[in-house]
Structure 1
Amino acid sequence: MSLFNVYPLFDITPVKAKDVFVYDENDKEYLDLYGGHAVISIGHSHPEYVKSITDQVAKLGFYSNSIQNPIQVELASKLIQLSGCRDYELFLCNSGAEANENALKLASFHTNKKKVIAFKNSFHGRTSAAVAATDNEKIIAPINAQQEVEILALGDLESLEKSLGKNDVCAVIIECIQGVGGLDESTTAFYEGIDRLCKKYNTCFIADEVQSGYGRTGDFFAFQKYNVTPDIISIAKGMGNGFPIGGILIHPNIKASYGLLGTTFGGNHLACVAGLSVLNVIEQKNLMENVRFISEYFNRIANTIPQIKNIKGRGLMLGLEFDFPISELRKKLIYDYQIFTGSAKNPDLLRILPPLTIRKEHVNQFFEALVNALEDLNH
């Protein structure tokens, strides 16, 4: 049996990894500045992370959500403490798409409405309502397209209020920093305007923090730069450092009832210890402080390179924009200089999403390689 061929693959086979490096079958070392789509938060194979999962699987790897699981309670408590999202409640699932599906479903239950508003260049997942709220027609199947979704221009509060005024919108879902779309952000007035309008029109404000959460921007969540109070916050990627886990944080104005949401694997024992170890390392190693320090250092160097036309994003969720498509540059970085980077919907944008443990010497290594690769491409 062959694999269903839906992924274009680089001809590299990682077999092990440590901190910010991955190694192929020939023991060649690669600097990982992409973290598997921002998933690797505390570094590959972190010893506390490995020990937590190893110890737990030796005791109990899984049982269903029909029994007591104190590790879920411990994870929720630690998450609320570090994020500062007091009084929110946690529902655990397995991925970012599933988190957004549950967020949208919960918003519809809460408001008894069904239309969703999302924004141009958004990406919220590849399933059902989440993909319908994603601004990419190529990945929306007819079965997804039956969802009622309106895609508005980022920053257009006037159109937003006009749509909300029809009183049929259950949720406005937004990434405060767009990921796949290309690191676009709007203004403080826009994000705070969404919050105000959602409250005015009885609509749930969903902050999609699947990629931007867990300290990646220097704040625990990207929305915390603004004076807003989301009704639901979706989380995943960096949450488990590679172990499949996702969730939603739910404001206390939304009430739970038995059977409202559910999952088989979500919140399992292994996922919870993985998630707990991530939070412990973020706290113990002051990784959000490191994000802010390295981001400032990274930006300072990037501003000296004339080919970089724009630096987008915040913290360690960054994009370097050029005036040419970066596909060949990205290949050169990985094959000639052994550095993983990412791409985006914007063809001119090189995405940088390293583990939050990255240090100055790794930034120096990247920029030395980038300057050389740009020279190579010009010859």
Structure 2
Amino acid sequence: MPLFNVYPLYDVTPVSGKGIHVYDEKGAEYLDLYGGHAVISIGHAHPNYVKAVTNQVETLGFYSNAIQNPLQEQLADKIEDLSGCRGYQLFLCNSGAEANENALKLASFKTGKSRVLAFKNGFHGRTSAAVAVTDNKNIIAPINAQQKVTILELNDILGVKAELEKGDVCAVIVEFIQGVGGLDQGTADFFEQVFALCKTNNTMFIADEVQSGYGRSGKFFAFQHYNVTPDIISIAKGMGNGFPVGGVLIHPDIEAKYGMLGTTFGGNHLACAAGLAVLHTIEEEQLMDNVNAMSDYFMAIAKTIPQIKTIKGRGLMLGLEFDFEVGELRKKLIYNHHIFTGGAANKNLLRILPPLNIEKQHIDQFFEALKKALV
């Protein structure tokens, strides 16, 4: 049976990984500066992660949410401890798209309204409502387009105000650092005014932290760089270091009711074990401090390369913008220099999303290769 051919694939077959490297079937080593879309947060095959998942699968890999699972409570408490999001409630699911689906559903339940405001170049997933609020018509099927969505320019505060005052908007969903769209960010004034307008107009303020969360921005969540308190926070990607897990942090003002949300696999024992291993490693190895130090080091070198026109993003969620499309550059990096990088909707942007424990030597290796590839 053939695979459904929806992915353009590089001719590379990783079969193992260790730390910031992956290895193909021939034993060739690749520097992984993309982490499978920012999923690999603490490095491939981290000993803490391997031990936690192994021990759990040997004990109990899965049971449904019809029974008590103390691991869920431990994970919730650890997220609260490291993030500082006191009093929030946690709903566990399986992916970023599912996290955003549930975030939007909660907003609609809470407000009794159905329209959503989202922003140009935003990406929130590929399922029903999540893809409808994503700014890419090519991936929105007619069944998704039935959702009530208005997409505005980032930083258009007058547009946000005008739409919210119509009274039918249940949620504004924001990436504080856009991922797939190309690492653009709103201003602090914009985000803070949007938050205030949501409060005034009975609208839920959703922080999509699927890619930017878990320390990648230099704070646990990217919204924490601003003076806002989201009603709902969606998380996934780096949360499980490769194990499929997502979640929604829900403000205490939103009351839970039986049957309001549900999932078969979300919050299973293996997912919780993986999630706890990630959090313990971030804490024990002080990885958020490393994010900030390595980000400064990376940006200082990037500023010395004349072909780089703009450096975008924060922390270890970075983009290098050139005055040409980077598709061929990415191929040179992967095939000639064995370095994985990412692309974006902005075809001139090279995305850098390494594990949070990257070291200076890896950044040096990347820039040495980049200079050669740019010749």
1:326-376 CA-to-partner distances (Å, cap 9, x unmatched) read: 00000000000000000000000000000001000000000000000001x
Partner of residue 289, structure 2: 289
Is 1:95 the counterpart of 2:101? The answer is no
User: What is residue 112 of structure 2 aligned with on the other side?
Assistant: 112
C-alpha distance in 2 between matches for 1:302 and 1:33: 15
Secondary structure of the corresponding residue to residue 92 of structure 1: strand
Residue of structure 2 in register with 1:364 after alignment: 364
After the TM superposition, which residues 124-203 of structure 1 pair with which residues of structure 2 at under 5 Å, given as runs?
124-203=124-203
1:144 match: secondary structure: coil
Correspondence list, 1:234-253, <5 A:
234-253=234-253
What's the Cα RMSD here? 0.3
Return the alpha-carbon distance in structure 2 between the equivalents of residues 156 and 264 of structure 1: 39
Give the whole-Å Cα distance in 2 for the aligned partners of 1:307 and 1:18.
32
Residue 78 of structure 1 corresponds to: 78
Q: 1:18-70: per-residue Cα shift (whole Å, max 9, x none)?
A: 01000000000000000000000000000110010000001100000000000
Equivalent position amino acid for 1:157 in 2: I
Deviation at 1:295, TM superposition (A): 0.2
Q: How does 1:190-269 map to 2 (within 5 A)?
A: 190-269=190-269
Q: Write the distance in 1 (CA, Å) between the matches of 2:92 and 2:335.
A: 38
Amino acid aligned to 2:286? N
Tell me the amino acid that sits aligned with residue 151 of structure 2: I
Q: Amino acid of the residue matched to residue 141 of structure 2?
A: A
Whole-Å separation in 2 of the counterparts to 1:326 and 1:59? 47
2:291 and 2:276 map into 1 onto residues whose CA distance is 20
Aligned partner letter, 1:319: G
- Give the Cα–Cα distance (whole angstroms) in 1 for the partners of residues 227 and 277 of structure 2: 30
**3-state SS in 1 of match to 2:56:** helix
CA distance in 1, matches of 2:81, 2:315: 21
- Map residues 267-278 of structure 1 onto 2, 5 A cutoff: 267-278=267-278
- Determine if the alignment matches structure 1 residue 320 to structure 2 residue 320: yes
| Residue matched to 2:352 | 352
Distance 1:55 1:176 in 2: 36
Q: Could you say which residue in structure 1 is the equivalent of 2:55?
A: 55
> How far apart are 1:186 and its partner, in Å?
1.3
1:224 deviates by: 0.2
How far, CA to CA, are the matches of 2:187 and 2:98 in structure 1?
Answer: 28
The CA distance in 2 between the partners of 1:153 and 1:342, in whole Å, is: 24
Separation in 2, partners of 1:162, 1:304? 43
Cα distance between partner residues in 1 of 2:214 and 2:48: 18
- Partners in 1 of 2:54 and 2:245 — Cα distance? 17
Structure 1 stretches (4+) deviating beyond 6 angstroms? Answer: none
Cα offset for 1:4? 0.2
Q: Which amino acid aligns with 2:158?
A: E
Once residues 285 and 89 of structure 1 are traced to their aligned partners in structure 2, the CA distance between those partners, rounded to angstroms, is 26
Q: Are residue 45 (structure 1) and residue 29 (structure 2) matched? A: no
1:62-88 per-position Cα deviation (integer Å, ceiling 9, x unaligned) = 000000000000000000000000000
Partner of 1:65: 65
For 1:192 and 1:263, how far apart are their aligned partners in 2? 33
CA displacement at 1:252 relative to structure 2: 0.5
Query: Please, what TM-score do these two structures have when normalized by structure 2?
Result: 1.00
Alpha-carbon separation, structure 1, partners of 2:89 and 2:284: 24
Aligned residues: 375
Structure 2 match to 1:34: 34
1:308 and 2:308 are equivalent in the alignment: yes
How many percent of aligned residue pairs carry the same amino acid? Answer: 71
